[in-house]
């Protein structure tokens, strides 16, 4: 099987030392502006904390909405707080098939030209001209951890999940912040493809390309 006539590729030890990360699986959810909270839940309505999320200051709300697309509807989609400058609907590819939309793969907050979508609450409805995305998997990393692992904000690295459905995720975006809890976020399609559950451990590698690309 081995081809002895070719010289071997070199992979550096630093690139194959695993960085353990806890996984959080993001189900579909909605972030809302102050104005859209008014429209959906009533003027002056305050979002109610259902439970705190792992990232500091973020929380799941008691409030839920119905997401409506041209070919389907998804009920009971959780609102996450606090309010944001622009409403954003984070969906999986499975959800997009059901709704009949083609939302783009984007980093959170990068909404220019993203899909239009309709939200319905107990008081009213709003049709966003843009705002529906498939959220790109990413790693939240506290500054202290980034220094420890010699990583910088917006680095892209590989992450390996072990097990019978073991997988290596390529090009995982690293977001470094003083206000982050170090954690990897994937969506439900990605979690279910691997059989991951919240709190599982995965391993990041600083290798910056597939090994096939290391051959020069």
- φ, ψ of residue 172 in degrees (nearest 5): -85, 120
The pairing of strands 88-90 and 105-106 is unpaired
Among 171, 158, 164, CA closest to 202:
158
CA–CA dist 67, 99 (Å, integer): 8
Least CB distance to its own copies at residue 20 (A): 13
> Nearer to its own copies by C-beta: 63 or 145?
145
> Nearer to its own copies by C-beta: 35 or 171?
171
Match 């309010």 to its residue by tokens. Answer: 83
Q: Which residues are near its own copies by CB under 8 A? A: 1-3, 6-18, 92-94, 97, 105, 136-137, 150, 160, 164-171, 188-190, 192-195, 203, 205-207, 210-212, 214-215
- φ, ψ of residue 192 in degrees (nearest 5): -70, -30
Least CB distance to its own copies at residue 17 (A): 8
Least CB distance to its own copies at residue 159 (A): 10
Least CB distance to its own copies at residue 99 (A): 13
> Nearer to its own copies by C-beta: 45 or 93?
93
Q: Using the 8-state DSSP alphabet, how is residue 84 labeled? A: -
Q: Is the Cα torsion angle 108, 102, 80, 136 positive or negative in sign?
A: negative
Least CB distance to its own copies at residue 211 (A): 6
Least CB distance to its own copies at residue 193 (A): 4
> Nearer to its own copies by C-beta: 105 or 123?
105
Among 114, 136, 158, CA closest to 21:
158
> Nearer to its own copies by C-beta: 42 or 156?
156
The CA–CA distances, whole Å, from 57 to 15, 24, 100, 134, 146 equal 33, 16, 33, 23, 21
> Nearer to its own copies by C-beta: 1 or 76?
1
CA–CA dist 94, 138 (Å, integer): 19
């Amino acid at each position: 099987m081995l081809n002895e006539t070719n010289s071997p590729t070199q992979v550096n030890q630093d690139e194959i030392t695993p960085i353990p990360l806890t996984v959080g699986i993001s189900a579909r959810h909605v972030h809302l502006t102050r104005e859209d909270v008014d429209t959906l839940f009533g003027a002056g309505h305050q979002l109610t904390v259902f439970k705190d999320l792992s990232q500091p200051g973020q929380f799941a709300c008691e409030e839920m909405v119905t997401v409506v697309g041209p070919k389907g509807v998804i009920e009971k989609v959780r609102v996450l707080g606090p309010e944001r400058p622009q409403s954003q609907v984070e969906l999986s590819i499975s959800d997009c098939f059901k709704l009949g939309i083609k939302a783009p793969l984007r980093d959170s907050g990068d909404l220019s030209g993203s899909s239009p979508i309709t939200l319905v609450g107990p008081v009213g409805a709003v049709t966003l001209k843009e705002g529906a995305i498939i959220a790109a998997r990413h790693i939240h990393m506290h500054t202290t951890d980034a220094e420890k692992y010699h990583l910088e904000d917006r680095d892209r690295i590989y992450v390996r999940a072990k097990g019978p459905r073991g997988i290596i995720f390529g090009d995982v975006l690293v977001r470094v912040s003083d206000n982050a809890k170090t954690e990897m976020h994937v969506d439900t399609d990605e979690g279910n493809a691997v059989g991951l559950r919240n709190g599982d451990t995965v391993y990041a590698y600083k290798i910056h390309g597939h090994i096939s690309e290391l051959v020069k």
